[in-house]
Structure 1
Amino acid sequence: MRLEESVRGQKLKRSNEQIRLLKRVSPEFRARHIEASHTGDLVSVDTFMVGSLKSVGRFYLQSVIDCHSR
């Protein structure tokens, strides 16, 4: 935790070799692209618990994103 606290906020420079290795290993560094031929061809659905109310209980938000237009 001390190491994390000491480097937090510092700008770290990565070499081209480090970036190349990160792109190969880490999905966060890889370019991701989904192709859909037309609107409505492919959608992404996710559900989130927004919160809870005493009188109602838990309530959720369902989001749908069209992958063609993003």
Structure 2
Amino acid sequence: SDDEKFLVNDYLPLIKDNPPPEVVQELLEVAKAIGYQAFSRITRELAPDILGAFIGAIVEIAIVKDGRDAYD
């Protein structure tokens, strides 16, 4: 998408070496928007039970990434 191209071409070069906080914040906002758009496209047509399993898998990934065991 245009947002993804904008992120890669315009923002990533700015954050390589000690970026200012406002650049980091703007980058996070762009990344969240791209993530939301992608998630929305993926989940738009899913049946409720499949959507629930999909969201559950994302939560498990987040828990494991956070350093906690997903099955505690």
Which fold has the larger relative contact order, with Cα–Cα distance below 8 Å and residues 6 or more apart in sequence?
1
Bigger share in strand: 1
Q: TM-score, normalised by structure 1?
A: 0.26
Bigger share in helix: 2
